[in-house]
Amino acid sequence: MASGEYKWRGGFCLEVKPVPNTIVIFGASGDLACRKLIPALFHLWKRGLLHEKSRIVGCARTPMDDVSYHALLRKWIGDSEELEDFFTRLHYMHGDYSDPEFYRDLSAGLDKIEKEADADPAITGRIFYLSMPSALYETIVNRLGESGLTREDPSGVPWRHVILEKPFGRDLESARTLDARLHKTLQEHQIYRIDHYLGKETVQNLLVLRFANTIFEPVWNANYIDNIQITVAETVGVEHRAGYFDSAGLLRDMFQNHILEMLSLVAMEIPSSSAADSIRDEKLKLLKSIRPFDRKTLADSIIRGQYTAGEINGAPCPGYREEPGIPSESRTETFVAMRLFIDNWRWRGVPFYLRSGKRMPRKTSNIVINFKPIPHSIFSPLRAEDLTPNQLILNVQPQEGLALTIQAKQPGPKLCMGALSMDFKYASILEDGSGMPDAYERLLLDCMLGDQTLFIRNDTIEYAWSLLTPILHEWETNAETAGPVYPYAAGTWGPKAAEDLTARNNVFWRNETN
């Protein structure tokens, strides 16, 4: 962790306040910056977790001054005295991302802003957030390097960090190419590849749940767990991303990052410490233990689908091919379900079921740990198979929390048993009623602290692509072994083939109904 003052919140709650940082956001007039990044920084400032000498600079092509940019942000954040105070720390610059002159102006502007803030240049870090399409990464990083803006002292303090949004390539070859080009200018410790799912409280809590409690780790293995399911479901269609999504597809969009990252946290071995590389080393080992898919029997392990017209919450929804900007003959998948196995001692023989889809009945992301049934029932006439096995559900969104289902006696007759669910929601313990912190708050704060634990390392990205690229290649070149793209109506939980995928092992998806 970086040096800084410690701020205690509660008896065992430690938050580290960062040193001064200047945060430069490229694409500052875009949706992500206005809807997520600036509000996250505003909330960090209100919580006292943005150093008083830290400053924010928004960069975009759109000609605006500070006043105009602040007016734009009020449409997203609202208006308040606190916001006006925050705006004194927020500046705007516009220019052409490919023009070297813009970066010379930026360098001079940052020096001036930091001098006016009385920020010590010996400790003031700079963060460059690239909130834009990945096609512009190389241009901007090269220009930053040429202008000296990414140059660090050998000690690494003050730092120069660059945050990148996904996607990190579209296959193994492109990911390697992008990585090589970035490393011409940046060192790996300067690159922060962001996956906002890793900033969610429930995902972060996986480490604490597993490794700070003795009751879970002894049973977190093939001896006690029957199967594990991970679901990321969206009610929306492609919205304004038709051009990107139809060329990418659901497998690229969700599995290479969100889902495989959650899988690695659920299944990895115990790291030696909470240090970033210790945790990320174990995540990489886990990915390397995933059994490669057999191309000849791909359709037996992976199901893909595409939504047709349907209804969600009483509202009609068009089919995927009827969405604006989507070709009428498109075979792009909007749903993927897969069964995979991890070949190590801990998980040998345990199936992992992963699925994600658009136009599902509910927006939800969860991890379901299904434990094995008891081997024998002493509660005659109830058989072991009559009793609901224990189940642990980790809800990532929309209501972050966890639920544990156990068997318990119900009041009444001597033999009166049933499944009891103990349900916990993180929002219930927030005393000030402020709601759950946004994932970007955690991730931006960690970058200001120099902590890469929740960011993705280059070798992890490369190995994830090595697992998925053969699948994508098979889908694109060999329709016979790849299997069909199954239709499913909007507002359903995907094609029937996805249900058949789990039913072969007498397993059923946990489909939320309310």
Least confident piece of the model among 98-102, 221-225, 478-482 = 478-482
Indicate whether 428 pLDDT > 80.
Answer: no
Indicate whether 412 pLDDT > 90.
Answer: no
DSSP code for 61: S
Alpha-carbon separation of residue 28 from 24, 66, 131, 368, 390 (angstroms)? 9, 12, 7, 37, 47
The helix (run of H) or strand (run of E) holding residue 477 is helix 458-477
Q: What angle do CA 77, 126, 165 make, to 5 degrees?
A: 60
Q: For the segment 341-360, what is each residue's pLDDT rounded down to a tens digit?
A: 999 999 999 999 999 999 99
H and E: helices and strands count for the chain: 16, 19
Q: Give the integer Cα–Cα distance in Å for 204 and 185.
A: 31
Q: Give the integer Cα–Cα distance in Å for 483 and 346.
A: 31
Q: What is the per-residue pLDDT for 16? A: 80
Name the pairing type of β-strands 364-371 and 391-397.
antiparallel
Q: Give the integer Cα–Cα distance in Å for 59 and 70.
A: 13
Least confident piece of the model among 168-182, 325-339, 414-428, 450-464 = 414-428
163-174: average pLDDT: 91
Radius of gyration of the chain (CA): 24
Q: What angle do CA 74, 126, 187 make, to 5 degrees?
A: 130
Domains of the chain: 6-165 (3.40.50.720), 198-503 (3.30.360.10)
Enumerate the active-site residues: 258
CB crowding 179-218: b at 16 or more within 10 Å, else e: beebeebbeeebbbbbbbbbbbbbbbbbbebbeeeeeeee
CA-based nearest residue to 236, from 360, 320, 397, 325: 360
Indicate whether 137 pLDDT > 80.
Answer: yes
Q: Which residues touch 202 (CB under 8 Å, ≥6 apart)?
A: 394, 395, 396, 397, 400, 401, 402, 426
Indicate whether 379 pLDDT > 90.
Answer: no
Q: Give the integer Cα–Cα distance in Å for 357 and 232.
A: 7
CB crowding 405-418: b at 16 or more within 10 Å, else e: beeeeeeeeeeebe
More confident residue, 305 or 414: 305
Q: For the segment 273-329, what is each residue's pLDDT rounded down to a tens digit?
A: 989 999 999 999 999 999 999 988 898 999 999 999 999 999 999 999 999 999 999
Q: Give the integer Cα–Cα distance in Å for 384 and 391.
A: 15
Q: What is the per-residue pLDDT for 5? A: 46
Indicate whether 481 pLDDT > 80.
Answer: no
- Report the amino acid identity of residue 329: E
The answer to whether residues 165 and 62 touch, using CB atoms and an 8 Å cutoff, is no
Q: Give the integer Cα–Cα distance in Å for 394 and 369.
A: 8
Q: In what side-by-side order are the strands of the sheet with 21-26?
A: 90-94, 55-60, 21-26, 125-130, 160-165, 191-194
422-426: average pLDDT: 84
Q: Give the integer Cα–Cα distance in Å for 96 and 102.
A: 7
The answer to whether residues 229 and 353 touch, using CB atoms and an 8 Å cutoff, is yes
Q: What is the per-residue pLDDT for 11? A: 46
Indicate whether 117 pLDDT > 80.
Answer: yes
329-347: average pLDDT: 96
Q: Give the integer Cα–Cα distance in Å for 168 and 161.
A: 17
Residue keyed to tokens 């609901």: 388
Q: What is the per-residue pLDDT for 432? A: 57
464-485: average pLDDT: 90
Helix, strand, coil percentages in the chain from 3-state DSSP, rounded to 5: 40, 20, 40
Beta-strand (E) ranges in 279-429?
A: 302-308, 310-312, 315-317, 335-340, 352-357, 364-371, 391-397, 401-409, 417-425
**What are 253's two structure tokens?**
């969009």
CA-based nearest residue to 265, from 333, 190, 214, 210: 210
Percent of the chain with pLDDT over 70: 95
Least confident piece of the model among 56-70, 167-181, 380-394 = 380-394
The answer to whether residues 301 and 497 touch, using CB atoms and an 8 Å cutoff, is no
